[in-house]
Amino acid sequence: MWNIMSNHLLQVSFEKKRLLAVPEAGHAVLAHLFPSFDWHAFSQLLPGGKETAISVFYSREDMIYQGYTTFGYLKMQMVVAHGGRCAERLVHGEDVTDGGSDDLEKITKVNAVI
C-alpha cells in the first residue's frame, strides 16, 4: 500500500505539492497561535485521482471531558479553518485556488451554531 502511495506522490509536480501545502501550513500556523486550540498532529498529501491534502488535529483532553463547547473555541475553529485561504493570499496574492471550499463550508456551519 505504501509503495502505491509513494509512487503517486512522486508523480505530483512540485508546484502542485506547493499549492496543496500552503493552505495546510496556514491551518497549522494559526492553530499554533492559539495555545488552547486543538493540537496539530500532522498534515499530509493524500493519494487518489484528485490531489488533496489534510491537516489532522487532536482535541485537547480538557475539551473532551468538559462536555460542552465554548464560543471562544468555536471562534478559534473558524479562524484556523480560514488560515488556509489567508496563507494562499499571502503566498499567491489574488491567485487563490478553490481548494478551501470545504473550509468555507466549515466556517459557515460553525457560524450558524454561534
Give pLDDT tens digits along the chain (114 positions).
444 455 554 577 888 888 888 888 999 999 889 888 888 888 887 766 566 888 888 887 776 677 777 888 889 989 999 998 899 899 988 888 887 778 888 889 988 988
Residues acting as catalytic residues: 24
Q: How far, in Å, CA of 17 to CA of 13, rounded? A: 6
Q: What is the dihedral of CA 73, 40, 96, 4, to 10 degrees?
A: -140
pLDDT at 48: 64
pTM of the model: 0.75
Let me know: does 62 contact 77? Beta carbons within 8 Å.
Answer: no
Cβ atoms 107, 27 nearer than 8 A? no
